[in-house]
Amino acid sequence: MNKSRVTSLAALAAVSAIVLAGCSIDEAPSADTPDTGASGEVDKILFDYPFTALPVYASLTQAVADYAETQGIEVVFTNDNMDLATQVSQLTTHLGSDIDAVVSFPMDNAAVQTVAKQFIDDGTLWITYGGDLDEQSSSLQFSFHDSGMTLGEDAGEWITENLDGDAKVLVLGDMSIQLGQERTTGILDGLEASAPDAEIIEQQAITPDEGLSVTSAVLAQHPDIDVVVATSGDAAAGAYQALIASGRPADDANTYVGGLDGNLTLYQEMKAGNFVRGVVTVKSSELAQAIVDFPVKLGKGEATERFDVPVYFVDADSADLDDYIVELGG
């Protein structure tokens, strides 16, 4: 694969929310593992999702709140405003409270690790969302590499079938955290496997604004970009807007845009028959259930070390495309 690595025009230590659709659970830790928090009934959960500016934030937190109410579980939410110092401060505020379990998406593992250990030492379960910490009770993960590879393979197969294997591909990645790194690597691995002659341009983008600005800048230098794939559905939506703004027809038969995680714009353009061709995602309703149910089961000893979730590939032919649109408020 020919790779052209371009200096990042925009980066944010963030990653979009991920939704899940099924799960498998790893073996329980051995009896001599360090203490990872108290076990017992979980009645109150702190959900710490710092990336409040991402479009998925409102729908995910509402889904968590709604489901928790049906289960008689109280959920408290932080408001970190996409700022690491605020995240640490918000978490620290709840130390020594009656919180039974924390589900937290760390913006920076090293900075959050100390707080996680304090919660665990205080007898509170700590579930790391979207990665792993050295000190944790367990983690919620989302098939990071496999989901990226699924998208990369689909894009590569499309390139082979529609462009005779010769394409210029913009990969909007995220190398700031574990989830983004594994997803980015998965996309590249999938492209390598299915379209080895494609030329790759790598950039960093997470939010819709970043996807728009980064893709616009790349298009100014490489107007012949054929494919944009992103580790974030939000960034992919921004890339779609950039391509349209550059004069690319929405139904262009030789363009492919795809992303990881659901995004309403992507789904709507996909349904309209435009060049959004693939989204790898899970359902926010099912993720909300895991955010509530997994800590409860962990406290009861019914769950084990890690909750790892597969994802679904969605395209214009998916029978449940309308369901994804409705979940995101469309």
- pLDDT band of residue 17 (cuts 50, 70, 90) is very low
> Where do we find the tokens 């995004």?
263
The secondary structure of 216-242 as a DSSP string is: HHHHHH-TT--EEEESSHHHHHHHHHH
What pLDDT is attached to residue 5? 34
Least confident of 22-36, 151-165, 210-224: 22-36
SS3 content of the chain, % helix, strand, coil (to 5): 40, 20, 40
> Which pTM does this prediction carry?
0.83
What pLDDT is attached to residue 39? 58
| pLDDT tens profile 107-126 | 999 999 999 999 999 999 99
* pLDDT at 305 exceeding the cut of 80: no
* pLDDT at 18 exceeding the cut of 90: no
Report the distance separating Cα 52 and Cα 279, nearest Å. Answer: 22
Hey, how many other C-beta atoms are within 10 angstroms of the C-beta on 27?
A: 8
User: How do 24-25 and 306-308 pair as beta strands?
Assistant: antiparallel
The gap from C-alpha 78 to its chain's centroid, in whole angstroms, comes to 19
Residues 72 and 100 sit within 8 Å (Cβ to Cβ): no
> Where do we find the tokens 């939410």?
77
Q: Is 43 exposed, middle or buried (0-12, 13-18, 19+ CB in 10 A)?
A: middle
pLDDT over 70, % of the chain: 88
The sheet carrying 138-141 orders its strands as 24-25, 306-308, 138-141, 125-129, 101-104, 44-48, 74-77
Across the range 129-158, mean pLDDT stands at 95
Report the distance separating Cα 85 and Cα 67, nearest Å. Answer: 29
Its sign, for the CA torsion 302, 305, 310, 311, is: positive
- In the chain the domains, ranked by start, together with CATH numbers, are 2-14+143-282+316-327 (3.40.50.2300), 24-142+283-310 (3.40.50.2300)
Report the distance separating Cα 108 and Cα 304, nearest Å. Answer: 25
The secondary structure of 73-124 as a DSSP string is: -EEEE---TT-HHHHHHHHHHTTTSS--EEEE--SSHHHHHHHHHHHHHTT-
* pLDDT at 303 exceeding the cut of 90: no
Residues 232 and 15 sit within 8 Å (Cβ to Cβ): yes
Across the range 78-100, mean pLDDT stands at 96
Across the range 267-289, mean pLDDT stands at 94
What pLDDT is attached to residue 33? 40
What pLDDT is attached to residue 54? 84
pLDDT over 90, % of the chain: 77
* pLDDT at 319 exceeding the cut of 70: yes
